[in-house]
Amino acid sequence: MKKLGFIGAGNMGEALIRGLLEKKVFKALELIAADPEPKRRRRLKRALGVETTADNRQVLASAPAVVLAVKPQVMDAVLAEIGEALGRSASSGADGSGATKRGAKAKLGPERLFISIAAGVTLSHLERRLGPRARVVRVMPNAPAMVGCGMAAVVRGSRATRSDEALTLRIFGAVGRAVALREEALLDGVTALSGSGPAYVYLFAKALADAAAGEGIEPRLALRMTLQTLVGATAMMEKSGLGPEELIRMVASPGGTTEAALRKFAEAGFADEIAEAVHAAAARSRELGAIG
């Protein structure tokens, strides 16, 4: 038996597998991954040494815990396949002994943990489709998990245990940081913050580098300097123990250059624009959850 399976081995699935191996949470022989793309399966087998398959049923038969790392638009098809596989009983022998007939597929059993990373697919929807005994945890990860710097939020379903939650936190802690939430409704805010947040940072970085290029700095150098500025600012926030307001005051000398820039941000309603953008993302997340 494997310890953990993956249905879907795209970018996020591969990142999780790589992180679990690098952090020694699992060994390669303890993992199995299913994906419909032969090239993807060959890549995982060659680069990471894990068993791969094109058959989702093989993952279900091999592992008591399964990460559903598929896109939301294909989740229902995957759930239908899983539900059918888990609900199929072994055929009984003609003598009534319960022996399985030759060629019949044995029941896989529904006692599994399913960890979903599909945005907008709710716990209630997952539990309905997976059956009354499946344990479900829902996770909102983000793209920086692919470079080991992710931020994930975890919410367990009605039948999932604290041990299930702890395992999920270990899995996603292997590619960054992970926190447990008590209310699923908070995942809409998480989606708007850490889920979509990297794109906000990329947009700010581009605007900053473009503006510096407009001041005569060579564009590639401007981007390099922008990235290091962001890295340094993040490290200072983490290591100094100071809040954002204190750090702003530390950098912004009265009557200086930083104060002049901050004044322009305030005049443009920068903080209000950020808030509106986050609220828009959260509203869209709620809409997608309602559709799902």
Q: In this predicted structure, what is the pLDDT of residue 80?
A: 94
Helix/strand/coil (H, E, C) string of the chain?
CCCEEEECCCHHHHHHHHHHHHCCCCCHHHEEEECCCHHHHHHHHHHHCCEEECCHHHHHHHCCEEEECCCHHHHHHHHHHHHHHHHCCCCCCCCCCCCCCCCCCCCCCCCCEEEECCCCCCHHHHHHHHCCCCEEEEEECCHHHHHCCEEEEEEECCCCCHHHHHHHHHHHHCCEEEEECCCCCHHHHHHHHHHCHHHHHHHHHHHHHHHHHHCCCCHHHHHHHHHHHHHHHHHHHHHHCCCHHHHHHHHCCCCCHHHHHHHHHHHCCHHHHHHHHHHHHHHHHHHHHHHC
Same fold, 4-186 and 197-291: no
Is pLDDT larger for residue 30 or for residue 98? 30
> What is the band of 278 on the pLDDT scale with cuts at 50, 70, 90?
very high
**What residue segments make up the domains of the chain, in order of their start?**
4-186, 197-291
Fold of 197-291: ProC C-terminal domain-like fold (1.10.3730)
pLDDT at position 289, please? 81
The superfamily CATH assigns to domain 4-186 is NAD(P)-binding Rossmann-like Domain (3.40.50.720)
Tens of pLDDT, residues 165-217: 999 999 999 999 999 999 999 999 999 999 999 999 999 999 999 999 999 99
Mean pLDDT over residues 37-49, rounded? 95
Give per-residue pLDDT as tens, 87-134: 753 332 333 333 333 333 444 555 789 999 999 899 999 999 998 888
